Amino acid sequence: MISRFEKITTPIFIFIFAQSARAADIIDKAVTGDIDNQADALAKGAGFNQNLEVGSVMGTIIKSFFSVMGMVFLILILHAGYKWMNANGDKKEVDDAKDSIMRAVIGLALMIAAYAITAFVFRQIDSIPQ
């Protein structure tokens, strides 16, 4: 009789074995083939531009940073709203939640100002004749 443990682990081990065999096949093809051409094909297939400029890289980094900060702002607002809703009329907890919302909004305003300044500076740098 097959135990419950064997019923659960057998498919997992089969899956892991199949994936390791597939990975070995991919590695074998990479080693025996021209790795540079395969890497270029992979980069093009993934949508990476091979002729990158400093400005586009910086723009991507800045966009990513502001996206993460926007998510942090949303989490802070949701957390403060949750604290406010669960304050049960306690004045100290309500004030704490209001302060958290105020700090999050101030942080968002600073982020928007930083983005505006950054965009202005990079536009000015791009407009300089080379």
Phi, psi of 90, deg, nearest 5: -70, 115
Per-residue pLDDT tens digits for 45-72: 666 666 667 767 777 788 888 888 888 9
**How high is the pLDDT of residue 97?**
92
Per-residue pLDDT tens digits for 102-121: 999 999 999 889 888 988 88
The structural domains of the chain, with segments of one domain joined by +, span: 4-45, 54-126
What is the amino acid identity at position 42?
Answer: L
3-class secondary structure, 128: coil
CA distances from 13 to 4, 26, 98, 106, 121 (A): 15, 20, 52, 52, 55
Mean per-residue pLDDT over the chain, rounded: 77
Q: Which candidate, 127, 126, 108, 128, places its Cα nearest to that of 116?
A: 108
Per-residue pLDDT tens digits for 82-101: 999 999 889 999 999 999 99
